[in-house]
Amino acid sequence: MATRQTRTLARFMVAPSVIILFVWMIVPLVLTLWYSLQRYNLLHPDRGGFVWFRNYYFFLTDPDFVQAIGNTLILVVGVLVITVVGGILLALLLDQPVWGQGIVRLLVIAPFFVMPTVSALVWKNMLMHPQYGILAGIWSAFGMRPVAWLTDYPLFSVIVITAWEWLPFATLILLTALQSLDEDQKEASEMDGANFINRFIYIILPHLARAVTVIILIETIFLLGIFAEIFVTTQGGPGSASTNLPYLIYVQALLNYDVGGASAGGVIAVILANIVAIFLIRIVGKNLDA
Amino acid sequence: MAREATIQRKITVTAAAWVVALVIFFPILWTILTSFKSEGDAINLSHFFSTPWTIDSYFEVQSRSDYFHHFFNSVIISIGSTVLALLFSIPAAWSMAFAPTSRTRDLMMWMLSTKMMPAVGVLVPIYLIFKTLGLLDNVWGIMSILMLMNLPIVVWMLYTYFKEIPVDILEAARMDGATLGKELVYVLVPMAVPGIASTMLLNIILAWNEAFWTLNLTTINAAPLTAFIASYSSPEGLFWAKLSAASTLAIAPILVLGWISQRQLVRGLTFGAVK
């Protein structure tokens, strides 16, 4: 069908996007690599020079780095588990006939549209404030001592805030997937006497597999880069208890002005993200072909 | 009998669904309520509903920190970056959907993989380049970064929409004697517009809420609402009413847009994998 002419035209139409994406990816990446091998501190511009892998050595042996990697993983996995499990439960609930279904749906998906800096600030102040927050109010009402969430459980608090932002996303996708489930199949299984648990395990869960895959892919992309939630609430602290990799690199670059060290961290972050990406892209590629 | 049982069941499920929905929505609801309090009453939980309501905070947010300046920055940046991304990606997605080659699939996967690159990996050079070029805290600078950030997603979304336009219909139009121009105006554009519109809507939402580059590359002049709100995170002093008013103003427009587009949201964000 496609003639040579249309093929040339097609190439011509794709080219601009590919070129700017390529430049956007390759130029900063090469620069990051280059800086990562230099001694380069904005506060001491006179002391420069090629230092090979010294920056990597310092970054990798920094105890904060190990903790940041751990925190990054806990953050991603924690939020994924909460949103997928919670999303399935919520989707099952919202799939039932309910009065005011439209409004319920609107209320449930609303957090997804709230900008990260707003949700982080609202949670930090009005909900998690150890003295005046709503949670403190509830705790005291039950005669318990209010918890200082952000200082005593910083990483957990960040996970809760982030999960609140992403739960609606998972719910909405799972609900859409549920609604495409064949009614006949559900009825047939009911006729055959399958109870809810059996139906859930053998019919509903396999049907949701594809949706869950997509949720994991998309959330991982965004969760690996969580920044604003930490920037606004805990500033990575206390100490480095809630510092993830993006935040650690931000501190190195824009607070310590250590361009070399931050670049080494950046390269490491890219490598780690690629390892995750290889797995994910494969799974998604397979799933989207079907 | 059976009918009564279903009604009873519906009542239970409705109650459960509403409770869960209200719990999830609560932080937003509370923000809106707090914005109508004075600073003193905002932190007084035990008398929250008996103290007077006021809209003073809204005026103060505007007069003290020029809310509208940041609001317009958000509008310009999110719409600007989306339109730019569409200009690049409509031709690309179009040709990949209608004249695919053996490499189209790999190209699409490569584009998606650029999204996997963590922003921090390129923060340092981008920051230094922007500093050298004087693009820090510049609307055009942040706009182009957000355009590049979201370009892969826009291409993917458009591709999945275009893919669903049946090619046969073009042939039918041609058989009926339609010229290329007529084909474009009467057949292709009407079929492509809904997909482009929902892609645009979703991308505006993503750009509006983007909070890594906007926090790192803007300070005042080009700062959109994300950065503006972050300036309220100062540890000393409690300005909850003002914070709430600013937050309500920052999320209200996009919340409305989001609610309108929720049907397209799922298929858009999952690249058509879930419909």
Distance CA A268, CA A271 (A): 5
Lowest mean pLDDT among A138-142, B52-56, B141-145: B52-56
pLDDT of residue A209: 85
Distance CA A231, CA A250 (A): 10
pLDDT band per the 50, 70, 90 thresholds, residue B38: confident
Output the 3-class SS for chain B: CHHHHHHHHHHHHHHHHHHHHHHHHHHHHHHHHHCCCCHHHHCCHHHCCCCCCCCHHHHHHHHHHCHHHHHHHHHHHHHHHHHHHHHHHHHHHHHHHHCCCCCHHHHHHHHHHHHHCCHHHHHHHHHHHHHHHCCCCCHHHHHHHHHHHHHHHHHHHHHHHHHCCCCHHHHHHHHCCCCHHHHHHHHHHHHHHHHHHHHHHHHHHHHHHCCCHHHHHCCCCCCCHHHHHHCCCCCCCCCHHHHHHHHHHHHHHHHHHHHHCHHHHHHHHCCCCCC
Given a cut of 70, whether residue B3 has pLDDT beyond it is: no
Helix (H) or strand (E) holding A165: helix A154-179
Contact B243 A121 (CB under 8 A): yes
Place of tokens 């439960």: A89
Whether residue A112 contacts residue B258, with contact meaning beta carbons closer than 8 Å, is answered with: yes
Q: Chain B residues with CB inside 8 Å of A118's CB?
A: 31, 229, 247, 250-251
Given a cut of 70, whether residue B152 has pLDDT beyond it is: yes
- A 171-230 near B (Cβ less than 8 A): 172-173, 176-177, 180, 210-211, 214, 218, 221, 224-225, 227-228
How does the average pLDDT of chain A come out, rounded?
83
Domain ranges of chain B: 2-34, 69-227+253-269
CATH assignment, B69-227+253-269: 1.10.3720.10
Distance CA A237, CA B153 (A): 33
Distances in whole angstroms, Cα of residue B228 to Cα of each of A252, B58, B73, B223:
23, 15, 10, 6
Whether residue A32 contacts residue B122, with contact meaning beta carbons closer than 8 Å, is answered with: yes
Contact A35 B226 (CB under 8 A): no
Q: Which residues contact B117 (CB under 8 A, 6 or more apart)?
A: A25, A29, A270, A273
Given a cut of 80, whether residue A174 has pLDDT beyond it is: yes
Residues A190-201 have pLDDT tens digits of: 777 777 787 778
Whether residue A228 contacts residue A190, with contact meaning beta carbons closer than 8 Å, is answered with: no
Place of tokens 């979201």: B150
pLDDT of residue A290: 46
Q: Which member of A113, A120, A225 has the closest CB to residue B118?
A: A225
Residues B96-124 have pLDDT tens digits of: 887 777 788 888 888 877 777 778 778 88
Q: Does ipTM come in above 0.90?
A: no
Whether residue B118 contacts residue A273, with contact meaning beta carbons closer than 8 Å, is answered with: yes
φ and ψ at residue A38, rounded to 5 degrees:
-110, 155
Positive or negative: CA dihedral B126, B132, B134, B137:
positive
φ and ψ at residue A52, rounded to 5 degrees:
55, -125
pLDDT of residue B189: 78
| Residue-range domains of chain A with CATH | 68-289 (1.10.3720.10)
Distance CA A115, CA B226 (A): 7
Distance CA A277, CA A155 (A): 24
pLDDT of residue B264: 76
Distance CA B111, CA B115 (A): 7
pLDDT of residue A285: 66
pLDDT of residue B28: 93
Lowest mean pLDDT among A118-122, A172-176, A283-287: A283-287
Of the two residues A88 and B6, the one the predictor is more confident about is A88
Residue among B24, B236, B275 with most chain A CBs within 10 A, to mutate? B24
The distance of A113 to chain B (nearest Cα, Å) reads 6
Asked if the C-beta of B51 comes within 8 angstroms of chain A's C-beta atoms, the answer is no
The distance of B105 to chain A (nearest Cα, Å) reads 9
Given a cut of 80, whether residue A124 has pLDDT beyond it is: yes
Residue among A11, A104, A126 with most chain B CBs within 10 A, to mutate? A126
Residues B258-267 have pLDDT tens digits of: 888 877 777 7
Distance CA A101, CA B101 (A): 45
- Burial of B48 (C-beta count, 10 Å sphere; 0-12/13-18/19+): middle
Query: What is the pLDDT averaged over residues A252-277?
Result: 82
pLDDT of residue A151: 83
For B79, half-sphere exposure in the C-beta direction (CA atoms, 13 angstrom radius) is 8
Q: Which residues contact B227 (CB under 8 A, 6 or more apart)?
A: A117, B70, B214, B215, B218, B219
Contact B95 A14 (CB under 8 A): yes
Residues B179-203 have pLDDT tens digits of: 777 777 777 778 888 888 888 888 8
- B 236-275 near A (Cβ less than 8 A): 238, 240, 243-244, 247, 250-251, 254-255, 257-259, 262, 265-267, 269-271, 273-275
